[in-house]
Chain A
Amino acid sequence: MKALMFGWEFPPHILGGLGTASYGLTRGMSQQPDMDLVFVIPKPHGDEDQSFLKIIGACNVPVVWKENSWDYINHRIGNMMHPDEYFWLRNGIRYDFNRIHTNDLGCIDFSGRYPDNLIEEISNYEAVASVLAHQMDFDIIHSHDWLTYPAGVFAKQISGKPLVIHVHATDFDRSRGQVNPTVYSIEKRGMDVADHIMTVSDLTRQIVIEKYHQHPSKVTTVHNAVEPLHDVESFTKTPRKDKVVTFLGRITMQKGPEYFVEAAHKVLQKTSGVRFVMAGSGDMMHAMIDLAAKRGIADKFHFTGFLKGRQVHEMLAESDVYIMPSVSETFGISPLESMQVGTPSIISKQSGCAEILTHAIKTDYWDIDAMADAIYAIVKYPAMYDSLRKLGKEEVDNISWYDAGLKVRAIYDSVL
């Protein structure tokens, strides 16, 4: 079976959880012997792992016919795409996209990020989808998140092949209910046209059904998983006097950082020998520094700034507790990553991953008392720490992308 996937991010150059999830899912699915995956992203960097799937960069797909020599193409984009493929794809141009600004190859310059003209970039992505849909051979179209829904919808209209969309988040999660009407309309249209909708948690599934008025039979939950860490042994915990409690993620309203500061305040009133770390950056960072100072706990409350790659796992492994008090989290993969390196997690009940985890502490995001209590218990009672560490790791190691891939496959089969 050949699947054409539209995504926005792919490791190693990722900005959020979407890239990680796309990678894990495709890797899990590629273990099915008859699965052929083509993954389209706006702008690849050339260092993506293509051992198990084929990546097409939308920025290398011509949408306007330009005459160029083989050597010139090879010189320009040869590191990412074979010139023959460029010429072959060029035959797929059926519409006039001259209104779009293109470069000397007839390709669109995508930023591949989340720029201010995001809506324009999304519609340009549609143009690329039309070329691919005309020229390529595939059985099913799979769109990851709202940015790629228009592309998927267009590809479906052209090819007549079924479309499944994968909801990693909705605008209701990102905005605490203050939805952007443009975004909502893009999401809604994608869902309406899709033959089947996959959500990353039951929480999201409920939103899709209630807020986007989709029929429940059309929406299925496929929980995310976590890639096994090959060098898990290399992350160690240096013995130190104080216990470390860590918040890691974007410091924004959605992640509930203020609840973490308040819980820290509660814990520190009663006990010493505990330090709190807020890792990451975001628009609420300065407000949080102020809040920590106002509560008089700044000497035990530390900020690290943005962490990436290996630093993330190192920080998690060095911690005694990982806490994710998200107000709303469609899935939330970081608690699973923290459990992988043996760090107990406290998560909010409003996170999708709470649906599949038993050996993690779950509290309401606003319940500072319960959160503080859980932190206290983990740092004070060795049995608590040991149980969560041991059983949590076991639990996470048994959640595999392969199983998630099988569920996706079953959905493919049902719509074909």
Chain B
Amino acid sequence: MKNICFYFQIHQPLRLKKYRFFEIGKDHYYYDDFMVEDRIRQVVEQSYLPANKIIADMIRSSNGKFKCAFSISGVALEQLEQYAPEVIDSFRELVATGSVEFLAETYAHSLSSVYDTNEFERQVKLHSDKILSLFGKKPTVFRNSDLIYSDEIGEKILEMGYRTVLVEEARHIMGWKSPNFLYNHSWLNKLKILVRNVKLSEDIFLRFSNPSWTEYPLNAEKFTNWIAETPEDEKIFNIWMGYESLGYVQRAESGILDFFKAVPYHAMERKISFALPSEIAKKSESVGPLSVPYAMSWWGHEKDLSPWNGNDLQHEALTKLYKDGERIRMCTNKSLLRDWLMLQTTENFRYMSHKSAYGTHYETSYEAFMNYMNVLADFLERVESQYPTTIENEELNELLKTINDQDKEISELREEVKKLKVRKAKVSEK
């Protein structure tokens, strides 16, 4: 039996405000709240809420047979909690049906998997805790920001306890291989790999409303037929996209929501069922290893990391950002730690790209760079004032440890003093 595996990504960057260099050292708030709220409300109203409603309907009318997965970055969750808590509620309702699964990822939708493994680990944990606290379930399947993946990252993912990972169908990796099977890590058999079916995914989020497309208009019957007509042994159809494709990128007027609504009926008619990533990984057997020596992603034609680190500007910004990771993680200042996360969001770097700055609010890549570097300069100054670079990391660690230990000791001694005082009082009473 063939399975369709739907997965939707929700992520919105916390956009930086215009931050001039003369504000460095004076202004420590970096975000354009107005724009952030405006953007998130827009997608919430045009996409997330109506789409959630449709998906709830689909689950109900198919008796729970329709299933899909979501990955919501920590950054996006924070924004939803603040500006659109009704979306969180509506996701809770979806979770209650049992047909929806959340995926693990980095909290900040960051490139930490490539630049800073310790940070990577920390963020995945942060994210998984956040999902647990909001929805009461711990994710078991991993998908990295923008599906960035390499053998090395895969190894780390397995080490963190995830057995399944989602990757992109990149030509240079797949070659003649079909995405419609389950694969495993290059040398670690335990890590299962699901591959996105780019053609079917793009048919929906890219071409659905394009009248010059030869298959226009696309309807659910045609779509499920394509899947049904594939060779017998191809069983898994991974159709993954940004959630805003439903109603925002593809406008509601295009009929995209009705299209989705009709999918379960036609799928069942053609004996196609739906499955969650975690189920597929359990149910199916891997057909072989997938070797990914260099990191790949789901962006652009090259499907590599060039949208984020392809030019000198991006390279400089990333190097400066991750240089002090270890030190920053020693900080206890909450606002500093939050800024550290927000500054890592991939969009900050993609907006500096000369070729694919999709969704940018800057006029040019240079403007994006200038603004980011000014913010980063202020941030690093704050880190520096907390922990001056004159002290080595190890020394600092020692000092912090001593302070911690002394704190502990002081509180223990205080306890003891208290106890003794009580005892003394009792003795004197007698």
For A377, give its contact among B315, B354, B370 (CB under 8 Å).
B370
For B373, give its contact among A269, A359, A381, A388 (CB under 8 Å).
A381
In Å, the complex CA distance between A391 and B310 comes to: 13
In Å, the complex CA distance between A266 and B21 comes to: 10
* Min CB–CB distance A276 → chain B (angstroms): 16
* Inter-subunit contact A391/B369 (CB<8 Å): no
Nearest B residue to A390 via CB reads B312
In Å, the complex CA distance between A377 and B311 comes to: 16
Nearest B residue to A381 via CB reads B373
* Inter-subunit contact B20/A383 (CB<8 Å): no
B374 interfacial contact with A, CB 8 Å: yes
* Inter-subunit contact B20/A369 (CB<8 Å): yes
For B311, list chain A residues within 8 Å (CB): 387
* Inter-subunit contact B363/A377 (CB<8 Å): no
* Min CB–CB distance B151 → chain A (angstroms): 29
Q: Mark A363-382, 1 if CB is under 8 A from B, else 0.
A: 00000011011101100111
In Å, the complex CA distance between A270 and B25 comes to: 10
* Min CB–CB distance A126 → chain B (angstroms): 46
In Å, the complex CA distance between A169 and B19 comes to: 36
Nearest B residue to A361 via CB reads B366
A313 interfacial contact with B, CB 8 Å: no
Number of interface residues of A (CB under 8 A): 25
Nearest A residue to B19 via CB reads A373
* Inter-subunit contact A266/B22 (CB<8 Å): yes
For B364, list chain A residues within 8 Å (CB): 358, 361-362
* Inter-subunit contact B317/A384 (CB<8 Å): no
B313 interfacial contact with A, CB 8 Å: yes
Q: Mark B104-129, 1 if CB is under 8 A from A, else 0.
A: 00000000000000000000000000
B24 interfacial contact with A, CB 8 Å: yes
Interface residues of A in 362-416 (CB under 8 A from B): 362, 369-370, 372-374, 376-377, 380-384, 386-388, 390-391
For B313, list chain A residues within 8 Å (CB): 383-384, 387
For A358, list chain B residues within 8 Å (CB): 354, 364
In Å, the complex CA distance between A161 and B363 comes to: 46
* Min CB–CB distance B21 → chain A (angstroms): 4
Number of interface residues of B (CB under 8 A): 19
* Inter-subunit contact A387/B312 (CB<8 Å): yes
* Min CB–CB distance A111 → chain B (angstroms): 44
For B22, give its contact among A270, A383, A384 (CB under 8 Å).
A270
Given A362-B363, A373-B374, A386-B312, are A381 and B354 neighbors across the interface (CB < 8 Å)? no
For B374, list chain A residues within 8 Å (CB): 373, 376-377
For A362, list chain B residues within 8 Å (CB): 363-364
B27 interfacial contact with A, CB 8 Å: no
For B370, list chain A residues within 8 Å (CB): 373-374, 376-377, 381, 384
* Min CB–CB distance B304 → chain A (angstroms): 19
* Min CB–CB distance A351 → chain B (angstroms): 15
B415 interfacial contact with A, CB 8 Å: no
For B363, list chain A residues within 8 Å (CB): 362
For A388, give its contact among B317, B366, B367 (CB under 8 Å).
B366
* Inter-subunit contact B22/A269 (CB<8 Å): yes
For B317, list chain A residues within 8 Å (CB): 383
Interface residues of B in 41-87 (CB under 8 A from A): none
* Min CB–CB distance B361 → chain A (angstroms): 15
For A388, list chain B residues within 8 Å (CB): 366
B316 interfacial contact with A, CB 8 Å: yes
* Min CB–CB distance B58 → chain A (angstroms): 45
**Residue in B22, B373, B374 whose Cβ sees the most chain A Cβ within 10 Å:** B22
For A377, list chain B residues within 8 Å (CB): 21, 366, 369-370, 373-374
* Min CB–CB distance B320 → chain A (angstroms): 9
In Å, the complex CA distance between A383 and B376 comes to: 15
For B21, list chain A residues within 8 Å (CB): 270-271, 372-373, 376-377, 380
For A372, give its contact among B22, B316, B366 (CB under 8 Å).
B22
Q: Mark A348-365, 1 if CB is under 8 A from B, else 0.
A: 000000000011011000
* Min CB–CB distance B383 → chain A (angstroms): 18
Q: Mark B362-382, 1 if CB is under 8 A from A, else 0.
A: 011011011001100000000
For B367, list chain A residues within 8 Å (CB): 361
Nearest A residue to B25 via CB reads A270
Q: Mark B244-256, 1 if CB is under 8 A from A, else 0.
A: 0000000000000
* Min CB–CB distance B313 → chain A (angstroms): 5
In Å, the complex CA distance between A391 and B364 comes to: 14
In Å, the complex CA distance between A362 and B370 comes to: 13
Task: Give 16 A-B contacts (CB < 8 Å), ordered by A residue.
Answer: A266-B22, A358-B354, A361-B364, A362-B364, A369-B22, A373-B370, A376-B21, A377-B369, A377-B370, A377-B374, A380-B373, A383-B317, A384-B369, A384-B370, A387-B312, A390-B312
Q: Which residues of A contact B (CB under 8 A)?
A: 266, 269-271, 358-359, 361-362, 369-370, 372-374, 376-377, 380-384, 386-388, 390-391
